Amino acid sequence: MFLEIVFYTLIAGMVGTGLGGVVGGLFKKKTNKLTSLLLSFAGGIMLSIVCFDLLTSSIENSNIFIAVIVTAFSVGVVYLLNLFIDNYSKKRSTHIDECHPKTHDDLDELIHSEGLVEARKAENVKKSLLNAGILMVFVIALHNFPEGLSIGSSYAHSEKTGIILAVIIAIHNIPEGMAISVPLICGGMKRYKAIITTAMCGLPTTIGAICGYLLGGISDLGLGISLALASGAMIYVVLGEIFPQSILMYRSKAPAFTAIGGILIGVLLIYVI
Query: Tens digit of pLDDT for each residue in 228-238?
Result: 988 898 898 88
Q: Which residue has the higher pLDDT, 148 or 73?
A: 73
Measuring CA to CA, which residue among 208, 210, 227, 238 is closest to residue 71? Answer: 227
Interval 87-115 mean pLDDT? 58
pTM check: above 0.85: no
Q: Are 231 and 58 contacting, i.e. CB atoms less than 8 angstroms apart?
A: yes
CB atoms within 10 A of CB 55: 22
Spatial distance between the Cα atoms of 193 and 97, rounded to a whole number of angstroms? 33
Q: How far apart are CA 237 and CA 75, in angstroms?
A: 9
Residue pair 215/55 in contact (Cβ under 8 Å)? The answer is no
Task: Among 22-26, 51-55, 228-232, name the one with the lowest average pLDDT.
Answer: 22-26
